[in-house]
Copies of this chain bind each other. A is one copy, B any other.
Amino acid sequence: MTRMGHAAGTDFRSPPALSGAKQGTTVVVLGAGLAGMLAAYELKRAGYGVRILEYQNRSGGRNFSLRGGDSLTELGGATQKVGFAPGNYINPGPWRIPYHHQAILHYCRAFGVALEPFIEVNHNALLHNSASFGGTPQRYRDIMTDFNGQTAELLAKAINQNHLDDVVSADERHDLLAAMRGWGLLDVDYAYRKSDKVSLRRGWAKAQGGGPDGAPVPSQPLPRAEVMKSGLWQWLAFNMNYEMQTTMFQPVGGMDMIGKAFARQVEGLVTHNVKVTRIEQDERGVTVTYDDNNHGGAVGQAKADYCVCTIPLSVLSQIDVQARAPLRQAIQAVPYASSVKVGLEFNRRFWEEDEQIYGGISFTDQPMSQISYPSHGYFSDGPAVLLGAYMFGAAAYDFAGKTPEQRVQAALQQGAALHHQYPKEFRTGVGVAWSRMPWTLGCCATWSEESRRKHYRDLTEMDNRLVLAGEHASYVGCWQEGALLSSLAAITQLHQRAVRAA
């Protein structure tokens, strides 16, 4: 608990103190994503004998970045060769780190990963509803200023007409009116209207300048009914989410800097290219059976005293797992979200040079959903990559059904409604459909309230010698933080079990 009232951050405080491990106890970790690598790292530090089995030919799991020269093959066989210019990248998986994700921030610091601010809110970015304002995108600052001002004006009117006297005391009435005027930029008559004061928040029709002709001209607020009907306020709300608040971070040079830093900590412990097919356990230990793709798919086995399994449930549900029925049911109970990201490279940073948008996100009701401008390399010359589509739900299934080339084309075509420079400046793109990644078959676990109630505890409690970890085994789902916290919780259970057994 902090001094200021309630606890801040996720429930990470410090790495677990796993003292008293019995010499020679062994653990097999399944999956070399962040959860698996952290488990291996901390267990090894505690004195356990650890190895990791990993399906892919690299460590990092969903933490990866795509750069020029990389290739990506998806279910169905389509292979994309990334054509980005040197230094450019896209993060198909995790791409931003909230300030309260203290576990990942701790390990970034411990493992030497440099971080820089990720810009989520950009007041000069665009908000777009195809059916509002004649389809013209609006500036975030205009929607924000007008929505707040128009809300304040209506509330002030109700208060001034004594309609809220039953719930507002005379004292509070005074405070509320002052608040509505100050926060909503109302004039002396409690009206929200075109003025210098309002333009000092939403920007000017003619900008402030210097010299004799420097006087600005105020801008005209948008009509209230259309602001409300547009629903564009939803993005103001979205950006206030705890997970979207400032200050967010990203690793300097790409999100895979984190995966690579973790991989350095577990060097020599990982066997890549093995596909787990069965997990068995009895009173003596755990046996994991796998196809060894380093040796033509030959069947192999790994034996250990305990197992930390971080395989995504979408994949694990297709593997034979020897466990109590409630755990087996839990593994089957959680569907995975579909999500698609498209990275687009352009000849130049027209969003900066022409539009004064530096980082941040524009939102649209089109299927591609959003454009995120890079939070690095500001003001630089040469080609740059933005995130040209990122969506969940129905639109993601639709995009995943397209060929990679069609995904890029759809993102380009839809994005042109926000940036007319798209067709002229486009160079190359890549479209990653998470439901088509054979090693995860989706983006992340989507718990419902009901499935949480029925299955979460069963999924996360250690089952004899087997314990699960990964973002799916946390309340911080779809975030790297959830993977790390679940991993720490898993190895803490494992250690207690092992010490008890010793």
Q: What is A's interface to B at a CB cutoff of 8 Å?
A: 2-11, 99-100, 102, 105, 108-109, 115-117, 119, 121-124, 126, 136-139, 141-142, 144-145, 147-148, 151-152, 154-155, 157-159, 161, 163-164, 167-169, 171-172, 175-176, 178-180, 182-183, 185, 199-216, 219-220, 224-225, 228-229, 231, 233-234, 236-237, 240-243, 245-247, 249, 354-360, 375, 378-379, 420, 456-457, 460-461, 469, 473-476, 482, 484-490, 492-493
- Say which residue of B124, B175, B360, B486 sits within 8 Å of A228 (CB atoms): B175
Known: A240-B145, A485-B214. Contact between A157 and B151, CB under 8 A?
no
Query: Nearest Cβ distance between residue A277 and chain B, in whole angstroms?
Result: 26
A173 closest partner in B (C-beta): B228
| Neighbouring B residues of A171 by C-beta, 8 Å | 225, 229
- List the 5 closest A-B pairs by CB distance, nearest first: A211-B489, A210-B485, A210-B486, A210-B474, A158-B158
Give the one of A176, A199, A214, A229 with max B CB within 10 A.
A214
Query: Nearest Cβ distance between residue A43 and chain B, in whole angstroms?
Result: 15
| Neighbouring B residues of A493 by C-beta, 8 Å | 211-212
| Neighbouring B residues of A243 by C-beta, 8 Å | 200
| Neighbouring B residues of A115 by C-beta, 8 Å | 378-379
Query: Nearest Cβ distance between residue A130 and chain B, in whole angstroms?
Result: 15
Tell whether, in the assembled complex, residue B11 and residue A206 are in contact, meaning their CB atoms are under 8 Å apart: yes
Tell whether, in the assembled complex, residue A151 and residue B151 are in contact, meaning their CB atoms are under 8 Å apart: yes
Give the one of A108, A201, A206, A375 with max B CB within 10 A.
A201
Tell me, in angstroms, the Cα distance from A234 to B182 when the chains sit together: 7
A202 closest partner in B (C-beta): B242
Tell whether, in the assembled complex, residue A242 and residue B141 are in contact, meaning their CB atoms are under 8 Å apart: yes
Tell me, in angstroms, the Cα distance from A233 to B185 when the chains sit together: 12
Tell me, in angstroms, the Cα distance from A234 to B2 when the chains sit together: 25
Tell whether, in the assembled complex, residue A203 and residue B154 are in contact, meaning their CB atoms are under 8 Å apart: no
Tell whether, in the assembled complex, residue A475 and residue B214 are in contact, meaning their CB atoms are under 8 Å apart: yes
| Neighbouring B residues of A116 by C-beta, 8 Å | 116-117
Query: Nearest Cβ distance between residue A354 and chain B, in whole angstroms?
Result: 8
- Say which residue of B179, B246, B356 sits within 8 Å of A121 (CB atoms): B246
Tell me, in angstroms, the Cα distance from A417 to B99 when the chains sit together: 23
Query: Nearest Cβ distance between residue A2 and chain B, in whole angstroms?
Result: 7
Tell me, in angstroms, the Cα distance from A310 to B332 when the chains sit together: 73
Query: Nearest Cβ distance between residue A151 and chain B, in whole angstroms?
Result: 6
A237 closest partner in B (C-beta): B183
Tell whether, in the assembled complex, residue A209 and residue B141 are in contact, meaning their CB atoms are under 8 Å apart: no
A172 closest partner in B (C-beta): B225
